[in-house]
Amino acid sequence: MASSVPAYRYDRRQTYLWNFENAPPAAEASAEEGIVSNGSHVRVPPPTCDRAATTPVGEKGGPWKYLDWAVSLPCAVAAGPLLNGRWILYAARCGFDVLTHKTVRSRWRASHPLPNLQPVELRRLDRLGQTVQAVEHDRPTWAVSFGMPSQPPELWRRDIRWARERLAPSQKLVVSVVGTVRSTDGRNALADDFARCARWAFEAGADAIEANFSCPNVVTPDAHLQHDPAAARNVARTIRGAIGRTPLLVKLGFLPDDELCRRLVDALGEFTDALVMTNSIAARVTGRAGELLFDGRLRGICGAAIRDASLRQVERFAEIVARRNAGLQIIGVGGVFSANDIRRYLSAGATAVQTATAFMQDPTCVTRWRAELRTR
């Protein structure tokens, strides 16, 4: 295994599909190995930056926990940056022990058009529907607009198996899933489709399933389960039936309403191992002249701008879980950019955290964070 890894980055000026096909090469695989979207071979790209991560693949568990797994850092890569098996192996080579595959569906779905990642000014967001201004250069905050695309299941099922076979046992692969339904489908269709995806991911070797109950960039019911505790419970119960004792995480968005948080904890506690929050905070995005981007539709803001609100939400949920003795872990996500941010989430009541933006902007961050946490 390599002792240093060239740093690749998601290229936000290119499409989702381009970034899917131009995933970092799998170190131990030939250029023909691995799976890409249209069945053609992966093009092996040159390194996009020359900084190196130094942690070999398969480095041993560690002193921290993620769910019940021993890990060297209590921080996973969140659902999003890891589009396929090659991205997963790359994040593992950088030193992450827990890798979450970007959300998949039971059928192919195209991505929203570019821009999928629009940098915005850094402004602390603390409620839904605020307005943020787009900026040109990279920032620690961006508007995310993919619309939960998915490759066809026959492709992602093979690819997940391919990746799992190449990870060390101490490295854990979590697959994020979402249900897909048509307006004419019956009452249970959404739960059944969530469960179908979860089962497929489990059969392909996923160590845990993360069910995405929130996506501000999609308007169909699959993306808004978090607002309907009874429906959320039904989906969680149906997934649980499909995956047995495999850990189940549920991903939630921004929820300022305490009563809804309490009802969600009551609804999900029986079937769920952990709640992951905060997916993003929905805002409108304007251009330089004040014009509305994305046709005026809300887009999920991720990165530093949502850290404080997400910390507060973790604190509130941790209190609710403790008071109700609900036995749920809370995993914090949103604006983790340093070991200190990880500590803040742990102090707020999270048992572990995830990162998307920081990993995408500097995949070598993991080495630094691990070293800094050792000095706690």
Ligand X SMILES: Cc1cc2nc3c(=O)[nH]c(=O)nc-3n(C[C@H](O)[C@H](O)[C@H](O)COP(=O)(O)O)c2cc1C
Calpha distance 159→171 (Å, rounded):
16
Q: Which is nearer to ligand X, 242 or 358 (CB)?
A: 358
Tell me the helices (H) and strands (E) count for the chain, helix number first.
10, 17
Nearest CA to 174 out of 247, 238, 87, 70 is that of: 247
Q: Which residues contact 184 (CB under 8 A, 6 or more apart)?
A: none
Q: Which is nearer to ligand X, 300 or 349 (CB)?
A: 300
Residues in 131-190 at the binding interface with ligand X, rule: CB under 6 A: 144, 146, 148, 176
Is 334 a residue that touches ligand X (CB under 6 A)?
yes
Measured from the CB of residue 209, what is the shortest distance to ligand X in angstroms? 12
Measured from the CB of residue 280, what is the shortest distance to ligand X in angstroms? 5
Output phi, psi for 212, to 5 deg: -90, 110
User: For the chain, how many residues are written?
Assistant: 376
Q: List the one residue from 25, 34, 74, 80 that touches ligand X (CB under 6 A).
A: 80
From residue 187, how far is each of 23, 183, 252 by CA, in Å?
Answer: 38, 10, 22
Among the listed ranges 58-66, 259-267, 342-350, 352-360, the one in contact with ligand X (CB under 6 A) is 352-360
Q: List the one residue from 151, 180, 234, 280 that touches ligand X (CB under 6 A).
A: 280
Q: Which is nearer to ligand X, 228 or 362 (CB)?
A: 362
Measured from the CB of residue 323, what is the shortest distance to ligand X in angstroms? 26
Among the listed ranges 57-65, 186-194, 317-325, 354-362, the one in contact with ligand X (CB under 6 A) is 354-362
Is 112 a residue that touches ligand X (CB under 6 A)?
no
Q: Which is nearer to ligand X, 10 or 271 (CB)?
A: 10
Residue 142 burial (CB count, 10 A): 30
Q: List the one residue from 99, 249, 356, 373 that touches ligand X (CB under 6 A).
A: 356
Q: Which residues contact 167 (CB under 8 A, 6 or more apart)?
A: 57, 58, 88, 89, 92, 99, 173
Q: List the one residue from 7, 36, 42, 78 that touches ligand X (CB under 6 A).
A: 78
Hey, is 171 helix, strand or coil? Answer: coil
Q: List the one residue from 37, 55, 103, 145 that touches ligand X (CB under 6 A).
A: 103
Measured from the CB of residue 184, what is the shortest distance to ligand X in angstroms? 26
Alpha helix (H) residue ranges in the chain: 16-21, 85-94, 153-166, 189-203, 229-243, 258-268, 307-324, 339-348, 357-361, 365-374
Taking a C-beta distance cutoff of 8 angstroms, is the pair 316, 257 a contact? no
Is 286 a residue that touches ligand X (CB under 6 A)?
no
Q: Which is nearer to ligand X, 29 or 329 (CB)?
A: 329
Measured from the CB of residue 50, what is the shortest distance to ligand X in angstroms? 23
Tokens of 224: 């808004």
Q: Look at the alpha carbons of 119, 122, 127, 130 in this order and tell me if their dihedral is positive or negative.
A: negative
Q: List the one residue from 333, 339, 346, 352 that touches ligand X (CB under 6 A).
A: 333
Tokens of 225: 């389960």
Calpha distance 277→213 (Å, rounded):
11
Q: List the one residue from 212, 226, 313, 361 that touches ligand X (CB under 6 A).
A: 212
Give the position of tokens 């854990």: 172
Residues in 241-260 at the binding interface with ligand X, rule: CB under 6 A: 251
Q: Which is nearer to ligand X, 18 or 29 (CB)?
A: 18
Residue nearest to ligand X (CB): 80
Residue 186 burial (CB count, 10 A): 8
Measured from the CB of residue 190, what is the shortest distance to ligand X in angstroms? 16
Q: Which is nearer to ligand X, 40 or 293 (CB)?
A: 293
Taking a C-beta distance cutoff of 8 angstroms, is the pair 252, 278 a contact? yes
Size, binding site for ligand X by CB under 6 A: 25
Q: Which is nearer to ligand X, 33 or 372 (CB)?
A: 372
Contacts with ligand X, residue ranges (CB under 6 A): 78-81, 102-103, 117, 144, 146, 148, 176, 212, 251, 279-280, 302-303, 333-336, 355-358
